[in-house]
Each structure stands twice: as C-alpha cells, then as structure tokens.
Chain A
Amino acid sequence: MSTRLAQGGRLIDRAKTLRFTFNGRQMKGYAGDTLAAALLAGDQMLVGRSFKYHRPRGILASGAEEPNALVGLGTGDRFEPNQRATVTELFEGLSAGSQNHWPSLEYDIGAINTKLARFLPAGFYYKTFMQPRAFWKHVYEPFIRRSAGLGKAPAAEARDPDDYEHYYAHVDLLVIGGGVAGLQAARIAGQAGRSVLLIEQGPVWGGRAPVDGGEIEGLPAEEWVDRTLEELTAMPNVRLRARTLGAGLYDHGYAIAQERVSDHAPGAQGPRHRLWRIRAERIVTATGAIERPLSFAGNDLPGVMLASAVRDYLVNYAVSPGDRTVVVTNNDDAYRTALALLDAGLSLPAIIDARPAGGGALMAEAEARGIRVLKGKGIAKATGGARITAVEVCAQAGEGACEETITCDALAMSGGWSPVVHLWSHVGGKLNWDESENFFRPDPQRGPVNHDGNAHVAVAGAANGHLGLSEILEDAGSAAARLFGSAVPEAPEASPRDEAPMAPVWLMPQGAKQALRAKAWLDFQNDVKVTDVQLAAQEGFTSVEHTKRYTTLGMATDQGKLSNINGLAVLSQALGEGIPQVGTTTFRPPYTPISLASIAGEAKGALFQPVRKTALHGWHEAHGATWEPVGHWRRPYAYPRPGESVEDAVNREVTAVREGLGLLDASTLGKILVKGPDAGRFMDMLYTNMMSSLKPGACRYGLMCSENGFLSDDGVVARLDEETFLCHTTTGGAERIHAHMEEWLQTEWWDWQVWVLNLTEQYTQIGVVGPKSRAVLEKLGGTDVSAEALPFMRWCDGEIGGLPVRIFRISFSGELSFELATPAHHGRELWDKLVAAGEEFGVTPYGTEAMHVLRAEKGFIMIGEETDGTVIPQDLGLNWAISKKKTDYIGKRAQARSFMDNPDRWQLVGLETLDGGVLPDGAYAVAPGKNDNGQVNTQGRVTSSYHSPTLGRGIAMALVHNGPERMGEVLEFAMTDGRRVPAKITGTVFFDPEGEKQNV
C-alpha cells in the first residue's frame, strides 16, 4: 500500500493538517501536499477509469504531464472537471471526485469494454458506426457519449463567481521555468541590469535539482536554489512569479502566461487567475524534461509510476507508493529512485535494466548497497487488478517468456527523458533528433527570429537536452548572454553528469507478441496501445498527423506529453523509417490547459463589450422601450405600453405615423462629413450617383458599392456648401464607411484634397414623421418649414423651439417627414419639446420595427435585409440611382463583369400571400426539379417580410429569378415544416405608389 513515511518530506508542514474529501471519503493531508501526494498518503492509488476501456488507473506522474489523475474539483458554481491532482495544491476543505466511472470508481460496468478491447481497435467508431445513418443520432452517439469521455461539464445554470484579469508586461527578458537553468538565466540577465520576468508553473522553485541532488558552487542544489532566489528577489529589475504557467509563445516575443493566484487559497482577495500578456525582447525557455514511460503489457496498472515521480513523492512529500517497489529502466537516472527508496528504508526486490551491460556509477552504487540488478532484462507483463501485484521478468531481447515473477505493489519505470520543447516549437523553432540521448532537442540554427531578424528565443538546460547540473548551468548562462550579444559568463562549479548511455527501448520486450502489445499502453488518457498505432500504420496512415487523429494518440487533455515520443517511435518502426523522418506532430499552445475564464478576463457581463447609447437612451428606457442591438448601439425596437404585446405596439406605432405624428430617434445613423476642394470628385467615386452636381441646400439618396460591385451602404447625402457634403450612412455602417473613405483617400487618391470626419455622435437626430409633422414644428416655431420654403429633399439650418437645428426634409416612411439634427447636448431638450408640443397631435415615439414596416410598405430597401454582400444595385431595381454619365465609380467595372451584367440574376419584387399571412423571412421560392444533390431547386427568396397594419395583410419583398417580368405570377414558398405557401409577385411599393403623402 502507499503510505506516509514517519520522517522527511521537504515540502510538507506536518504541523498543519488539512482535511479534504475524495469521492465523499474524508481524508487528511499536510500543508504543502499536492492532492496526488495526499491521496497516495491515504493509500488512494486508484483515482479514475480510463477513457475507452474503463480500466482502473492510478497516479502515474508528479507534475503537469499526469494523464490519469484527473478529478472534478469543487462543487456547484465552482465545480471544475479534468483538474490534474498532481498539480493541485491541497487546501482545507478541498472536495474532489473521480471521473468516468459508473456506478462507482471501485466497481465500474464499463470495464467490460476492456474484455471487448480486441473488438474496439483504432478507428473502431469510424468503421462501425457508419450505417444506417439515422442510427448515428439516436443510438451510436448517445451510447458513445455515455461510455466515453472524461470529466462532466459544469451544470448549465452554473455561473463562475470568481474574478479573472488580464495583466500586461513588457520586459527585456522573459524566463519560463524556475528550475536551476531558469534561475541561472535570470541571474545572469539580472546582473547585467536587464528587466527580467521569471515565471514558474508550480509553487516551488528549483525544478528537479533539489530532489535529484548534486552540488552547485559548493552547496547542495537545494541550498543553491534558496540562495539564488534570495539574490534574485533583491534585484529591483527582476520579477519572480510562482504558480505562473508559460502557456504559449507567439510571434515577435509575445507570450501568454497564466498565474493561478488563489487556486490554493480559495476565498482570498483578488482574482482567481491572472492572464499575463507579455512582450519580451528576448525569451529563455527553461522548461526542463519529462520522463517517458516504458511500453510493456500492463504498464497502465495502478501502482506503475514514473521513476522520477516515485522519487518526488518520497523526497518532497514523504509518501511511499508501495512497500515493495521494482524499478525498471533503460537509463541511469532511475537508479536515483532506487537509492531514494533505499534511503527511505523501503523494500526494493530488483532493478530491471534493459541494457545488457547495465548502467554506470549510479548502478555501481546501487549494487554496492546490495540491490539486485537484472541486466538485459525487461518486463513481459505486469499483473494485478486494481493494483499491480507482480511483474514477470523476461529477456529484453526476447519475446516475453517469463523467467521469474517478482511480487511487488509498486513499479517505478523510466524510458528516458524528453526535453520540453513545446514553447520553442510554438514559435516555429525546429528540432533535431539526438541519436545518443534518443530525444528531440532544439536546433539553435533553425530557431525563431524577432521583428529585427535576430534570434530572440533560446532554450536552456534540460529543455535544451542537457541533463547534468554542470551542463545545465553552463547552457543557461550562455543562453541568457548570447541572446543579448554579451560575453558568455563563466559557469558555476557544479556536479557533472556521470551516467552510462541510455538505450532506446520502444517496446518491452523487443519482440513482444500481439497479446502483450495489445496491453502495452502508449497514451494512457486516450487509451491508445502499441497495437493501435501499428494497426494505423498497417492501414495506411503513414503520416504522423494522420495516425494521431486516427488513433487519438496525444489528443487528450495532456496532449501526449508522455505518449508522443513513444508512439512516434512505434510508428517509425512499423513504417521502417527513422524517427526524425517520421517527425513530430505540431506543438500548439497552451502547454497545459488554461482556464477559459482567464482568457475572457474582465470581458464578461456588463464589461463584455461597450454599449453605445444615444442622448435619448434614458428617455427610451423610462418609456418601456424593448431594445434591438444594432452594431454596438441599442435602439428602441418598440415602446409597448403596459398590457400591450410588442406586436401590438408595432402596429399601433405604424398607424400613428400614418395618421398623425411619430417621433424616431435616428441619432445612430452615420453622419460623415466630406470636405475639401476635391470633395465633389471624391463623392462621385464613392457613390454610384452623380453627387458633384448636387446643389448646396439639396439632398440626394445615394448608393455606395465596394470595388467588387456589391451594394455596401446607402443613405441621404446633403450638400452643405460648394466644398462640403454630409453623408448619412446606415447605423451599422458608419465606422465601416468612414474607414472605406479613408482607405481610398489614403491609399489611392492621396493627392486629392479631401478630408473626412465621422460626426455620428456629435448630433442627436430626430425623425418627426407623419401628416402632423409640419404642424408640430410650426407650433414650436423658429423656422419656416412650409412646402415652399423647404421642399422635399432640401435641408436648411435654423431653430426649432429655440434650439439650433439642421432640418432635412427627407422621408424613409413615405410620410411628410423632417429629420432634425441638433448638437447632442441639446438632443434631450429638443425631444422633450417635441413630445410636449406633439401631445395634441397624438405624438407617438416609434422604434426600429415600425420603421421597418413603414419602409417596407413603401418598398424602400434596407442594407442587410435586401442586401447580403452578393447583391448589386441593379438587382434591386435601383438603376435610377446609377449615373450613366460618370466614367468611373467604385464598383463600376465590376458591375460590367459577365456574371453581374446578366439577366438571370435574381431581382427584387414585392410579394402578396394569397391568404394574407406573413411569409417567414428568408423562405425560398421553389422551382421544378431537383439539383445534383437531390435538393429542391429554388428560384428566389424572401428578403423582408412583415404584417402591414396599414394594409391589414402580410407584405414581403423577395429576390426572384426574372422577377420584374413575372408580375402576377404565383410562386410557392417552402416552409420548414414541409408546407408550401403560395404568394403572388407584385411591385415593391405597397402603399401610396404616387408618393402623394410625402409631397405636401
């Protein structure tokens, strides 16, 4: 059993007991424990069930690479699935639960899958669940979702109550990794006066060195770490952040790090996580190395652990994984674990070393202390159920014949080390295969460069393939100096690496038969075995990227930190190619999962995005407006009265405008000033119409297209004076059109003397609309708005009710209508005066939906309804707004392309349903026959559709093939429930076609 030893544990404080629960079981640990250490101390080796076969799984590692010990942490609003127990710091009251088991961790029905494993090979789902198609949705998918998968998502109604923030940092040097290499790199740069940020993913500094031992500058590694930390802390130009994960490197020295501020201390003040967004001139990644598992049958049994993890639990937490621990290795490092076990007084029946000659000095030390070392041997299989009970020893060179069975309750395995090259690879750094160490290491000749063309990222220490203290320190100092072009400092004295070469062991034993290979796990989290990768190769998945996706190797939340190299090696052997030829899959950020909440940061709730409010927003709010988001604006959709439905409110508002007086807040419409000696010339290029001929004092409706000919925006242009135009745009188009103007002025016609200015927010604009609109303005007085003084499509400056206004006599409703623009700070006052003065005329504020109905009754198009980025003005019957005289305008050439200048294009018409009902927006008109995909042919679609209270029936506009020539024809429109609704093609103007109402 695994247990807490009576003595030792460099990271725990035995004076502080912490209580926590696992699957409801009350357990205890110490301050300084990780959840994994405390679970092991309580003999909770079994922590989960595997993804596909529901095999029992135990704690495998001691760090971020852990594939098995994933737990659901917390409850309710703070529940979080898939948290790694190995990096979860224990705190009082922690509540954790295991995942992917039913009904319980100890007894799991899904474990039957392991008996069926031979029927569930790689690609099983692709091969099996293809037909019949309907079964996918109703049978296969629900079944797979229930039986596979890791943690459960938090409840849909759960809301994260914690705060998260973004933090920006600019530094000369970012050092990622607080082990010996990172500390030394930060120290060298700090001494040179650079601003340095040193981050470490865990709560403890020093990396592996304090556990692995050795001396630096005459001090034990642990003391050197403490001394160096003190030195760095004293430097004002150096910042240190523990619990801060270097998650990703990006172009030009941009890095993302996540600081877990209070995960270990729930309830503390401040944010839970902090996302660091770092710009660093130079970056050193000193991210260490990760130990690899060995691939033998039963390597996934609980009790089988990485050798380094066994050592970590012993030294850091005084936890022994078992009473009798066997060590199996292909390298010298695992002997350190054997010696640590001996130091702790634990039983160690044997070290199984796959190398025929065994190891070097460390082996000699172990043998001298009486440990039995079996050389050239491997493990044929590990046996046991919920826990390992024995290993069968065999010749590594053979096929797995059992020579000896050794009982044990823990197994420490080491397949060698893999440098953590992830961050280097994120920014395009290339790798070389090291033939003697059998790992990928960074190629400094093929690294990323900064904007200035200089190398700006260096990898240092074990991450760079250096595995001895002396080599690591020398490499780290050199990396920090080289990046800045400084002289490389003399490396501190430290223990050199004294190890015999490792031997590549990709399968144990080398000739393991099918039955053994089928139980030899590569990817523990996604349940991928040696046989799965071999099958993929056999079935033709020769690319490593394809094999990954077919087998799901390395696709789990651990992203293959333990499995990738082993899987790659198996694939390369199956293909008969070298490992470097097969290559790695792509390393992508983040290095380990970071919380989505930290990515969102402060951008949630009211802070998610700014809301733009007009000067009249408060009035609308006070009068019960329902809102429609338009761009970042909120516009009143309608003003329902108490007890009135929104639909009824819209009908009431439309009728009020047609019969009396309506008020519309039109402030959000874009108002862009175009000014300068060449303004007319520029306007002629921007609009399809001739704008240069517009007289000061006059208004003209204009269309704007993009260079590819499609209609982009529309609005009324007023010429203010010889050199000045005021362009109205759609609400959503103001910024876009302003940018469009700037782009052409700056990049194409930069010698034209024109300036453009977006005045949208400077003015409140109020539509005073309806037969009584002139009466209310005359009542307030100040400006002559008679038909003679201010005819249709004219504007004037003046006063209304004592306030300065510019009055446009324009109409988007077909009614007599004035738009009053006043400086925004007068907006509310003007509105209030209009409301008060309009009382006797039945004044009715109306929203965007009534505005839409009014314009549709008149057949006025709306950008974004009748247009969708593929519609040209000619499609909408707007040829009258396209100048024939102009030689050029933006989009003219494109509209002459054969595809555009084509009678087969769908064109705008009106529709009347035969039953008076309202067609659904977007409904398609069906045509005879089917297309090549077996879909019903179409010949048009509805672009706008409303109930017209004025006419008492449904009206619609649609784009229809040859529509204008098919007046009176009845088309059938397809409903989503399969029905067909007939509608008759009509003209687009449903109401007052002569325009008599606005011409008064």
Chain B
Amino acid sequence: MLILTCPYCGVAADETELHPGGEAHLTREGPESDDAAFEGYLFHRKNPKGVHFERWRHSHGCGKWFHAARCTVTLEVFGSYAAQTTEPPQEIREILTARRPGWDQEAKA
C-alpha cells in the first residue's frame, strides 16, 4: 500500500485515503479533434516500466487532485505536485535527473 504526500495539505497519506486517476499530463481533445487524436486522448495510456506521472486525488482527505512521479518497478516516489500544470515542474525534473538519468528520453520513447 503506497504512501503519497498530498502537496496541498502536506499529509503523507495511505493509499486507502487516495483515489487513483491514471496517467497525468494528458491533453484534452475537443470536438475539433480528428479521430486518431481523440482515440489517443480517450483510450491510449502509457504503461511504462519505470518513471511514471500519475494523477491522484486525496479523496478521503482534503479532496484535492495532485500529481505524483513514481517508479512503477521499485515504487520509489520522486515527488508529488499540484495538478494545475501541464508538465512536471522543474523541481521534480531535477530530482528525476539526479536519481534516474535519462528518464526524459525514456518518457518520450
């Protein structure tokens, strides 16, 4: 059972306090999008073996959505950050570069 720290209320929360929301940093495709782009947005999700960015909600706590950067293999958590962003913040990127050099290349692949 994971522990993730909610960046809003600062609580290191048990997984049972949280609700998972899948891959973070998706771009919403609206009515103008073509079929392929919309299909990708609606259905296609990364399932990396390694660094992953996920959405979580502190549903049995402050109720806020946040993002977490986590290794899906070792379950190491690199950090959690506010959901109001379209990409991982610089601080998280630096932690990842220090602990998992090359993570950004893998993320693109």
Contacts and interface: CB of A to CB of B under 8 A. Distances in A.
Contact of B42 (A254, A750, A894): A894
Interface string B1-44: 11110000000001100000100000011110101001000100
Interface in A731-748: 739, 742-743, 746-748
A708 B38 CA distance: 10
A742 B4 CA distance: 20
Contacts of A253: 3
A451 B77 contact: yes
| Best-surrounded residue of B29, B55, B75 (most CB of chain A within 10 A) | B75
A888 B33 CA distance: 11
Interface stretch (B46-54, B57-65, B101-109): B57-65
Given A279-B14, A747-B65, A453 B38 contact: no
A449 interface: yes
Given A251-B1, A452-B76, A743 B29 contact: no
Given A451-B76, A452-B76, A893 B30 contact: yes
A250 B1 contact: yes
Contacts of B31: 887-888, 892-893, 896
B84 interface: yes
Contact of B30 (A252, A742, A888): A888
A316 B14 CA distance: 43
Contacts of A894: 38, 42
Contact of B75 (A449, A893, A896): A449
Contacts, number: 68
A251 B30 contact: no
A799 interface: no
Contacts of A450: 76
A897 B31 CA distance: 10
Contacts of A708: 42
A172 interface: no
A894 B3 CA distance: 35
A449 B70 CA distance: 12
Contact of A750 (B15, B28, B33, B84): B84
A421 to B, nearest CB: 19
A392 interface: no
Contacts of B35: 897-898
Interface string A700-713: 00000001100000
Interface string B62-97: 011100000000111100000110000000000000
Contacts of A887: 31
Contacts of B55: 747
A757 to B, nearest CB: 11
B2 A739 contact: no
Interface in A892-917: 892-894, 896-898
B84 A251 contact: no
A252 B15 CA distance: 10
A897 B38 contact: yes
Contacts of B64: 746
A143 to B, nearest CB: 43
Contact of B59 (A279, A739, A750): A739
A893 B2 contact: no
B1 A746 contact: no
A279 B16 CA distance: 13
A276 to B, nearest CB: 14
B101 to A, nearest CB: 14
A452 B38 CA distance: 37
B96 to A, nearest CB: 12
Contacts of A747: 21, 55, 65, 83-84
A254 B30 CA distance: 42
A750 B85 CA distance: 9
Nearest to B76: A453
A450 B70 CA distance: 12
Nearest to A254: B1
B58 to A, nearest CB: 11
A750 B65 CA distance: 11
Nearest to B35: A897
Interface string A235-258: 000000000000000111110000
B3 to A, nearest CB: 5
A892 B33 CA distance: 11
A897 B99 CA distance: 43
A893 B76 contact: no
Given A888-B30, A896-B31, A252 B3 contact: yes
Contacts of A252: 1-3, 75
Contacts of A251: 1-2, 15, 75
Contacts of B74: 448-449, 453
A746 B63 CA distance: 10
Given A250-B1, A252-B3, A449-B76, A748 B28 contact: yes
Contacts of A742: 63, 65
Contacts of A888: 30-31
| Best-surrounded residue of A250, A747, A896 (most CB of chain B within 10 A) | A747
Contacts of B83: 746-747, 750
23 contacts: A251-B1, A251-B2, A251-B15, A253-B3, A449-B74, A451-B3, A451-B76, A453-B76, A708-B42, A739-B57, A743-B21, A746-B64, A747-B21, A747-B84, A748-B28, A750-B83, A887-B31, A888-B31, A892-B31, A893-B30, A894-B38, A894-B42, A897-B38
The 8 A-B residue pairs with the shortest CB-CB distance in the complex, in nearest-first order: A453-B76, A254-B1, A750-B84, A451-B77, A746-B65, A252-B3, A893-B31, A747-B83
Given A251-B15, A898-B35, 10 more contacts: A252-B1, A254-B1, A279-B3, A279-B14, A746-B64, A888-B30, A892-B31, A893-B38, A897-B35, A897-B38
